[in-house]
Amino acid sequence: MSPTTKVRSLFLSDVHLGTRGCQAEMLLDFLKHHEAETIFLVGDIIDGWRLKVSWNWPQAHNDVVQKLLRAVRKGARLIYVPGNHDEFLRDYVGSNFGGIDIVEEHVHVTADGRRMLILHGDKFDIVVRNVKWLALLGDWAYDLALFLNVHISRVRRRMGLPYWSFSAWSKAKVKTAVNFVSAFQEAVVADARRHGVDTVLCGHIHQPVVETIGDVHYVNTGDWVESCTAVLEHMDGRLELVRWMKRDTRADVEDAATARPLALAPAA
């Protein structure tokens, strides 16, 4: 077993606990290999939308929650920024529950002095904010795409072919979806400029990426449905985007100062 990596901050979003697509076992493995002074949960950690329709809470999902609570008991600070799927927690913004701070957004200062705005990002999604029934329909379509992924992957494994995501491919091929991602990024970056920060970190669209847009470093944490990605702040303030592939393996590590965009993944 590889040693635990100790970091200053850990950023996670779009875990979607309570859904069948959640890669809880993979996240649990990741958490076992990383120890952070501060953990930021950047929205859609629990999928309240899905749990309202059908209760799905296997042991691995409970284990992830317990692992995070154990980190708090050991002294880690945990800051929870609710998203649209766990919007019920927005009723408790400003509260602290057992060492967990619930905030609408947060400005974090990295070890090297950079100011970073942290928010989920759904406020820049016109569909989520104004046409919720359409957002729910899109959520259903995404679940269908993930269902197809399972069967396509099974066939490809039997043929000796590598993993290929149907949902990510279809998303990348839809021009309107690509345009949405670009517009989303521009809106987030504009908000960062209004806050006067160097860096902005968000989730929501399930697109793990670190890149510079104009004068702002834009960071998206990705998700734990397909991408299995997280962002680490090391003790010197350096940011890394990490894709967790399997046990004792870390891949697609990007540095926030020089990184290129990772592959497009589906939005929530």
Per-residue pLDDT tens digits for 199-226: 999 999 999 999 999 999 999 999 999 8
Least confident of 86-95, 133-142, 219-228: 133-142
Q: How far is CA 265 from CA 59, 119, 170, 207, 227, in A?
A: 27, 19, 9, 5, 7
Of residues 244 and 161, more confidently modeled: 244
The predicted model gives 13-23 an average pLDDT of 94
**Mean pLDDT for the stretch of residues 255-266:** 38
Residue 153 lies in domain: 5-255
Count structural domains, the chain. 1
The whole-number average pLDDT for the span 127-136 is 41
Domain presence at residue 25: yes
Supply the pLDDT for residue 159.
Answer: 76
Is residue 122, in this structure, part of any structural domain at all? yes
Q: Is the pTM of this model over 0.75?
A: yes
Residue 138 to residue 32: CA distance in whole angstroms: 33
Does a structural domain hold residue 263?
no
What pLDDT was estimated at residue 265?
A: 34
CATH number of the domain bearing residue 185: 3.60.21.10
Residue pLDDT, tens place only, 169-210:
555 554 445 567 888 999 999 999 999 999 999 999 999 999
Measured CA to CA, the distance from residue 86 to residue 120 in angstroms comes to 11
What is the percent of the chain where pLDDT is above 70? 72
- Rounded CA-CA distance 212/215 in Å is 7
